[in-house]
Structure formats: C-alpha cells, structure tokens
C-alpha cells in the first residue's frame, strides 16, 4: 500500500513537471538505476536508523534520496542552484518535516558547518561536477560513512571531473576513506562508478 506522503509527492511531481521538464529528468530511468543501487547497498550495510542524519552534496532536487531515506531523523540537501533548492523546498518536499535545504557551494559550506561533523552518512552522486573529495579537508577529520558516485561521461559539458574507472575514482578519496563497497552501473551514455565506505579520523592510510 502506498502511504499518503508518497501520493502527495506524486501529485506535486506531476504538477511541477508540466512546466519544468528538469524535474522529470531527475526521475529518469538512468537516475533511478544509479540512485536505487546506492540505496540498496546502504540498506544492506544496515548503517542507518531513524536517529541517523544524512548530508547530500550536489543534491539537485533530492528526488529519489528523500523518499528513499524518509525514515531518518534529518536529511540536509546542499546545492548551488537556488532555483532547484527553492522548488524542492517549497513545491516538492514541503510536506516532509525532516529535510533541510542549503543553497551553497559544497566546499564553502562543509568546511564551516557544524552539521557535517555529526552526520552519519555523506552522499555525493555529483562527484563529476566538482573538485575531488580529497580536496575537501573536513572529510579527513570525520568518522562517518560515505556513498559517492562519479562516471566516465566526459562528453557532457557540465562534467568537469570524470574518471575512467573505479580505481581512478578511489584515488580522489581522502586518505582516511576505507572503501567497503564498489559497484558499476551501466548507462547508455557510459558507466557510473559507486564507492561506499567509512571515513575514519584515526586511519593511517
């Protein structure tokens, strides 16, 4: 049985997509396949519960992750696109009470954020759009889980930091990142690379 919160979300998606096809793109088959696989791996690790907090870098609308992790205590979305954040906050997920929205650059926000220091999981499925995660210094001082995706779709203009394979992707992780799960998700445009693991502030890697 579909609960009322999902029925409400479905109605809002249909209404918003009538004049904003970008919203529909966030629910495309490619987006579903990649994000559903991440959710599946995270759930299999059993690392979250209803007291957990999640931060999503480069969140876009949060279209799939917000309902996918709706049971956690708090989800914080961080994205530079103010229009996207406003739509997600005010027109798509305003009926969700456990979601916060931040319009800022990940590298500026995270270094000064107290919230990231107590998060349980950091998700970034937009690694190809930003600098390597090892350049975000705060991550080397954390003790939490991470789930990152990048891809080899070099021909997309907004992809400024693609990788050729998963080993190359792992080289972009902070020194204290211990990888627990690796996966590859096929897309008609290329391959998405997924790594899930834990930052350990005491790591000697």
> Residues 70-87: pLDDT tens digits?
999 999 999 999 999 999
pLDDT attached to residue 112? 87
Q: What is the pLDDT of residue 202?
A: 58
The per-residue pLDDT for range 165-185, each reduced to its tens digit, is 999 999 999 999 999 999 999
Q: Provide the 8-state DSSP code for 125.
A: S
* pLDDT tops 80 at residue 20: yes
* Model pLDDT, residue 1: 37
Average pLDDT over residues 194-199: 98
Phi, psi of 33 (to 5 degrees): -60, -45
Whether 204 shows a pLDDT value over 80: the answer reads: no
Q: Quickly state the pLDDT bin for 154 (edges 50, 70, 90).
A: very high
Please determine, for residue 2, whether its predicted confidence score (pLDDT) is greater than 80: no
Sheet-wide strand order for 177-187: 99-103, 74-79, 53-57, 121-124, 145-151, 190-199, 177-187
CA distance linking residue 13 with residue 34, whole number of Å:
20
Window from 26-30, 70-74, 201-205 with minimum mean pLDDT: 201-205
Kindly tell me if the per-residue pLDDT of 4 is higher than 80: no
**Does residue 103 contact residue 133 with C-beta atoms inside 8 Å?**
no
Q: Mean of the per-residue pLDDT values for the chain?
A: 94
Say which CATH topology domain 4-199 has: Rossmann fold (3.40.50)
CA distance 191 to 71: 30
Q: What is the pTM of this model?
A: 0.94
CB 12 within 8 A of CB 91: yes
pLDDT score recorded for residue 6: 85
Reported confidence tier of residue 32, pLDDT bands at 50, 70, 90 = very high
Can you tell me the mean pLDDT for 41-55?
98
């Amino acid at each position: 049985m579909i609960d009322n919160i999902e029925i409400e979300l479905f109605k809002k998606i249909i209404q918003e997509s009538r004049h904003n096809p970008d919203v529909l793109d966030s629910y495309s088959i490619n987006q579903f396949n990649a994000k559903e696989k991440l959710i599946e791996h995270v759930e299999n690790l059993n690392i979250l519960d209803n007291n957990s907090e999640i931060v999503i870098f480069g969140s876009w609308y949060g279209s799939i992750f917000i309902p996918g992790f709706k049971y956690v205590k708090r989800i914080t979305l961080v994205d530079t696109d103010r229009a996207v954040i406003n739509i997600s906050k005010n027109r798509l997920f305003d009926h969700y009470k456990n979601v916060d929205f931040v319009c800022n650059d990940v590298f500026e926000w995270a270094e000064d954020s107290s919230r990231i220091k107590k998060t349980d999981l950091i998700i970034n499925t937009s690694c190809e759009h930003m600098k390597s995660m090892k350049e975000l210094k705060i991550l080397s001082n954390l003790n939490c889980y991470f789930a990152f995706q990048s891809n080899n779709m070099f021909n997309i203009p907004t992809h400024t930091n693609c990788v050729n394979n998963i080993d190359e992707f792992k080289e972009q992780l902070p020194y204290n990142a211990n990888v627990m799960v690796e996966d590859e998700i096929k897309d008609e445009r290329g391959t998405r690379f997924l790594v899930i693991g834990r930052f350990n502030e005491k790591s000697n890697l």
